[in-house]
Amino acid sequence: DVQLQASGGGLVQAGGSLRLSCVASEFTFDNFTFDDYAIGWFRQAPGKEREGVSCISSSDGSADYADSVKGRFTISSDNAKNTVYLQMNNLKPEDTAVYYCAAERDRLVGGCYADEYNFWGQGTLVTVSS
């Protein structure tokens, strides 16, 4: 199964920026390549349900964003490095959460829903102070 490792979280003041990285490995054991997957970033804040932040198709680069982050966050894929990034700008305190990256074998239908993703990384904590 594909293995995912998220990194790049930390403490930042409101208005600041962070760049999260998600590195995928071992996916070839499933006889797939990196561009066969969709990769998503999901977050879970204390007391709240996990929500989709942004998801991307590694094959064509199409992406979806939550309304709350559109215009501030940008997802991108570097297929040569088997890595997906989430550039987060103009961070707000309400962005504070554990951020997880996840993968699914790309169905090419779009959307960004946690229950559609079956491979998950460990998560990285983002804390935004006011």
Question: Can you give the pLDDT of all 130 residues of the chain as single tens digits?
Answer: 789 999 999 999 999 999 999 999 987 666 778 888 899 999 999 899 999 999 999 888 899 999 999 999 999 999 899 999 999 999 999 999 999 999 998 888 889 999 999 999 999 999 999 9
* Cα distance between the two ends of the chain: 40
> Pairing relation of β-strands 18-25 and 83-88?
antiparallel
Q: Which of 108, 125, 4 is nearest to 56 (CA)?
A: 108
